[in-house]
Amino acid sequence: MKTLVGTLLAILSATLKSRTDLTLENAALRQQVEILQRTGAKPRLRTIDRAFWVVLSKFWSGWKGALFVVKPETVVAWHRRGFRAFWTWKSRRRGPGRHAPDGHLRGLVRKMCQANPLWGAPRIHGELLKLGIDISQSTVSKYMIRRRKPRSQTWRTFLDNHVRDLVACDFFVVPTATFRVLFVFVLLRHDRRKIVHFGVTANPTAAWTGQQLVEAFPWGQAPRYLLHDCDAIYGNEFRRRTHSLGVREVRTALRSPWQNPYCERLIGTLRRECLDHVVVINEWHLRRLLASYADYYHGARTHLALDKDAPVPRVVHPPEGGFVTSVPMVGGLHHLDRGYEAPAEKLAACGADIERVSG
């Protein structure tokens, strides 16, 4: 029954088609039968077969209904490939072309580009014309040194350019022996890694944070930029204090502590070298610990970023100055090694004084 219905529908559609459509459909079917007879179950098409279907798809709108060997998308891909091949052939070089510049001229272009990084191809081309060298601007642009330029100023460049005018601040928490949580506010200068100020409180507010900033920079010593995160503690009251001091705030992006690296590193150093080894009793005890560590941090601890020097530059004590003695700091957690006068010299001086008195 299905076969009979399909046959009747085919006869009906054939009667409605024009003579041209029937001729093209007959040719398409015969071409596919020839392909299958030639290659077997898996058809292998030649270039002439592909060209036949590309041309047929341009002149007959019903070509998709008569195609069975490949998908219609394949014929479209053949047409695009032929289009590219045609225009590649049409735009081929028909003559010897322009002579390539010699190595000396190419080296001169690169040398001028390297010596003048702000110059572009038009400027270098103009200089070459003034030197009597006849060369096109496109050739100059071809042999210039390509530099990867960032789209905008990087964060590292900003820190390097404003390191002397930049102060960073941040909060960290310290638990006590009575299970209280104390908040520590630190201010750090970027140029010499100095701890400008630290404040301790159990209930931080925007007004308290702004007051800490005023206490840290009296008498017009405020920096030009203050770097901090987007915490809600830096609210309207804090912003009002910073504006009154003439300080410009620089906020880091959300969830990006790496944009405040020096202050984050200081907090980690405070924990690893001091607070992780001590049980804090109360707020007064924490203040004393931080003050003691700040003395060690400024005058004794060396930093890689400061060429192995302390924030307050230390005097070099050569071995000729005497033996090395160790001075305990931060309650004995750290020690400062210093050179003193040799004991033999002290004994000799004391012996001379004794002989002079007895004589």
pLDDT single digits (tens) 272-311: 999 999 999 999 999 999 999 999 999 999 998 898 999 9
How far apart are alpha carbons 259 and 156 in whole angstroms?
9
CB-CB contact of 36 with 43 (8 Å): yes
Q: Are strands 166-175 and 195-201 parallel, antiparallel or unpaired?
A: unpaired
Q: Which two tokens stand for residue 73?
A: 């998308």
Asked whether the CA dihedral 186, 191, 193, 195 is positive or negative, the reply is negative
What pLDDT, on a 0 to 100 scale, did the predictor assign at position 98? 65
- Look at 306 and 34; give whichever has higher pLDDT: 306
What pLDDT, on a 0 to 100 scale, did the predictor assign at position 48? 82
What pLDDT, on a 0 to 100 scale, did the predictor assign at position 274? 94
What pLDDT, on a 0 to 100 scale, did the predictor assign at position 44? 75
What pLDDT, on a 0 to 100 scale, did the predictor assign at position 271? 95
How far apart are alpha carbons 27 and 35 in whole angstroms?
12
What pLDDT, on a 0 to 100 scale, did the predictor assign at position 242? 93
For the segment 124-164, what is each residue's pLDDT rounded down to a tens digit? 999 988 888 888 898 888 888 887 766 666 777 777 787 88
In the predicted model, is pLDDT for residue 50 greater than 50?
Answer: yes
How far apart are alpha carbons 136 and 141 in whole angstroms?
9
78's enclosing H/E stretch is: helix 72-90
Task: Give Cα separations from 318 to 185, 229, 347 (angstroms).
Answer: 39, 44, 21
How far apart are alpha carbons 187 and 170 in whole angstroms?
7
Sequence ranges of the domains in the chain: 2-90, 103-142, 164-306, 315-359
What pLDDT, on a 0 to 100 scale, did the predictor assign at position 3? 58
pTM of the model: 0.54
For the segment 74-96, what is each residue's pLDDT rounded down to a tens digit? 878 877 888 888 888 888 777 66
Mean pLDDT score, 246-259: 92
What pLDDT, on a 0 to 100 scale, did the predictor assign at position 117? 82
Residues making up the chain, counted from first to last = 359
Q: In a 3-state reduction of DSSP, which class is residue 162?
A: coil
Q: Burial of 234 by CB count in 10 Å (0-12 exposed, 13-18 middle, 19+ buried)?
A: buried
Q: In a 3-state reduction of DSSP, which class is residue 327?
A: strand
CB-CB contact of 112 with 124 (8 Å): yes
Q: In a 3-state reduction of DSSP, which class is residue 311?
A: coil
Task: Give Cα separations from 17 to 10, 11, 21, 29 (angstroms).
Answer: 11, 10, 6, 16
- Look at 174 and 120; give whichever has higher pLDDT: 174
Find how far residue 198's CA is from the centre of its chain: 31
Find how far residue 322's CA is from the centre of its chain: 49
DSSP conformation class of 312: S
Average pLDDT, the chain: 82
Tell me how crowded residue 321 is: count the other CB atoms within 10 A of its CB. 14
In the predicted model, is pLDDT for residue 209 greater than 90?
Answer: yes
What pLDDT, on a 0 to 100 scale, did the predictor assign at position 234? 94
How far apart are alpha carbons 219 and 188 in whole angstroms?
18
Does residue 268 come out as left (phi exceeding 0), alpha (psi in the -120 to 50 range) or beta?
Answer: alpha
Residue 49, φ and ψ in degrees, nearest 5: -65, -45
CB-CB contact of 169 with 188 (8 Å): yes
Supply the angle between the helices 283-299 and 261-273 in degrees, to the nearest 10.
110
What pLDDT, on a 0 to 100 scale, did the predictor assign at position 196? 95
- Look at 128 and 54; give whichever has higher pLDDT: 128
pLDDT class of 181 with cuts at 50, 70, 90: very high
> Is the CATH number of domain 164-306 3.20.20.80?
no
Does residue 132 come out as left (phi exceeding 0), alpha (psi in the -120 to 50 range) or beta?
Answer: left
What pLDDT, on a 0 to 100 scale, did the predictor assign at position 350? 41
Q: Count, in order, helices (H) and strands (E) of the chain.
A: 13, 7
Task: Give Cα separations from 351 to 322, 323, 341, 355 (angstroms).
Answer: 19, 20, 16, 6
